[in-house]
Structure formats: structure tokens, C-alpha cells
Amino acid sequence: MRPLDGLLVLDFSTLLPGPMATLLLAEAGAEVIKIERPGTGEDMRAYAPAWGRDGVNFAMLNRGKKSIALDLKNPDSRASLEPLIKRADVLVEQFRPGVMKRLGLDYETVKQLNPKLVYCSITGYGQHGPKRDQAGHDLNYIGDSGMLGLSMGSPEQPVIPPALIADIAGGAYPSVMNILLALEERRRTGQGRLLDIAMSDNLFPFLYWAMGSGMATGQWPGNGTDLVTGSTPRYRLYPTKDQRMVAAAPIEQKFWEQFCTLIDLPMALRDDSIDPAATTQAIAALIAAQESGFWRARFAGHDCCASIVATMQEAMDDPHFKARGLFSHPLHNEHGATISALPVPIDAGFRAGPDTTLSSPQLAEHNKDYLS
């Protein structure tokens, strides 16, 4: 038995935030039914690169779910959902505010069918406020929250973050957290509730240090001007001779002293409070004089908070992550091809075993099971 066995989730969402949230619920045992457009299904099925009939992104995010396809604009099709709505424990949707109401599937309407339903709405800016109807993507949300402005490179070399932070950390994860809280509340009260998950809102906890600094001192951090955004030699990326990167984060003094010793930094520069720029420049020159293999060997076995930045392939081949079983669950497609399933932050004891066959559903594969 998994923690969410017996829980029925209706998933109206597409792309990343909602599907990631319902993936976590499915991993913990919930029965997740995707409601998709007839003919094409959700957009991510067509995203490149393809892996069998669908895009690999779709396969990674929708394993273990069921799929039904129907036209939500058709009143008869919507009516066929009523039995499922009455049975469901959770509904997840990701349309702009007002869309579900136009479809007759808003919270106030479905609440009449199922007052115990936990109804989770995920949007960029929330269900109310001046920006509620504004279109956006991850880059817009982290830009509006101030997060991007703290570390975005230079005008000559702007840097786009490598992860969709708002979608996952601001959307998917808070959704799961609040769904579980609402289910616990329902266990005590017998009533469901509407959850308003605004991806841009949920970025501010990540900025606690910048907010605190600005409000307490009146000095607001700028682009690359703070401890964890590159203002100090103790928290930086240093290129090696072979164009790899050393990730150096020896913030605490004991780690700093060890790091300085390992790279043979001159004693006169080890007090980085005197001339941080000179210390940074000297470290950069020392690191650039040797290839990454040299530094990997030099740092090995020492507590200095310095490492070589891994490629994605290197990370997946890392013996540490392999030993922890992160990539041991195979994901299958309809042709019998296999790749590693996406690791998720659900404890292994709550998930299905590694011998479980994982695959994403074919579009409308389960119409007969749920709509007959």
C-alpha cells in the first residue's frame, strides 16, 4: 500500500506545473486521470524530441497516469464527466482565470456535485490581482518576482537560468503541498476547498535573504552583488584550462582556508576582506592554469566545498546518484524502448518498486474505462 492509494485525481493541466504535481501524486499511489483534447491531446505530446508516439517530455511527466479525451466545449461531453467529478478527491487545472467557469467546471459549480473535492488552480499570477489575466512563462515570473534581477549576467552576456524554477518550485511543489494539507483538513472537516496556486507568489520564499537584507538595511541587492550571486571570491565559478568550471563555495572560514591551501593562494591574498577583487583575480588565474582533471584530483577527499561542474550525462553516470537508485526505474514506450524514469522527491518507501512497469498513456486510452 502506498500513502495515496485509493485517491482519485482529475488532471486538466498541460505542459509542466500541473503534470509534475500530478506525477508526484501518482508516484505516491493516486489514480490520476488526464483529461485531454480529442485528436491531439495535450501540447507536450507534440514537443520535440519525439520518443515513440509522443514527445519524451510528455512521457517523463505523465507516466503511470490514465488518459481520456473529450471536448470540454461540448455540453454532452462535459456531462459525461459528472460521475468522475462526484467520485474525485482532487481536481487540478491550469487554465487562465475564468476559463473553467466558462466551461461550467469552476469550483463553485463542481462543489455542488462534490463538496469534498479539493480543487487546485495553478496560474502564473493567481486568481485575483491586476496581473491575473496576463500571459507569461517561467522567465516572466522569475523576472517579475525580482529573482532574475539578482543574477542575470551582464548586458553583453545575459544568463537565462537552466531550470524552470517558477513552474516547478513555484507551481508543482506548492500544489502538492497544499493538496496534501487540504486533504488532511478534509479528513477532519469533511469539506474540500479551492486552492489558488500562483507561481509568481511562491518564488518569494527563495528570496528571503534578498528581502531581509533590503528591508533591514535599505540596501537592496543588485545583479551579482551579494554573497550567493557572485560578489565574493568564496562563491564563484572559475574556468579551468580546458574550459570546464570549478564551482567554488568555501564560504565558512575553515573551508576557505582549506581551499586556499589546495590552490596555493598566496598568503597575502587569503584575507579576502582587504581586496576581494584582487583575491578573485588571483584565484581565477590559478584555476585557469590547470585542467579540470587536476583540480578534481586536488579537491578529492578534502572538505573545501569545491568541485567540477558536471555535465548532465556525467551527473547521471555519477556513482553516488547510481548508488542511491535515482535512475533505476525504467520508463517504457510502446516500441519497447527504455530510458530512466524521472526521479521525483518522493521517499522510495512511498513509491512503487523498481520492478513496476512505467509508461505514459496513449491518448484516449481509458475512455471506455471511465466514460462508458
- Nearby residues of 233 by Cβ (< 8 Å), 6 or more positions away: 248, 272, 276, 279, 280, 283
Amino acid at 348: A
Task: Look at residues 2, 61, 110, 33 and name the one whose alpha carbon lies nearest to residue 343.
Answer: 61
**Do 90 and 118 touch, CB atoms closer than 8 A?**
yes
Q: Is 76 marked active-site? A: no
- Nearby residues of 306 by Cβ (< 8 Å), 6 or more positions away: 246, 247, 248, 249, 250, 259, 262, 295, 299
Cis peptide upstream of residue 49 (ω within 30 degrees of 0): yes
Cell numbers linked to 212: 531581509
Cell numbers linked to 113: 456535485
Element (H, E) at 27: helix 17-27
Helix residue ranges per DSSP H, 152-193: 165, 173-189
**Do 151 and 224 touch, CB atoms closer than 8 A?**
yes
Catalytic residue, candidates 11, 54, 138, 167: 167
Q: Is 335 marked active-site? A: no
Cα-based torsion angle of the residue sequence 343, 348, 350, 354 in order, rounded to the nearest 10 degrees: 80
**Do 292 and 308 touch, CB atoms closer than 8 A?**
yes
Catalytic residue, candidates 43, 137, 196, 332: 137
Q: Which residues are catalytic?
A: 137, 167
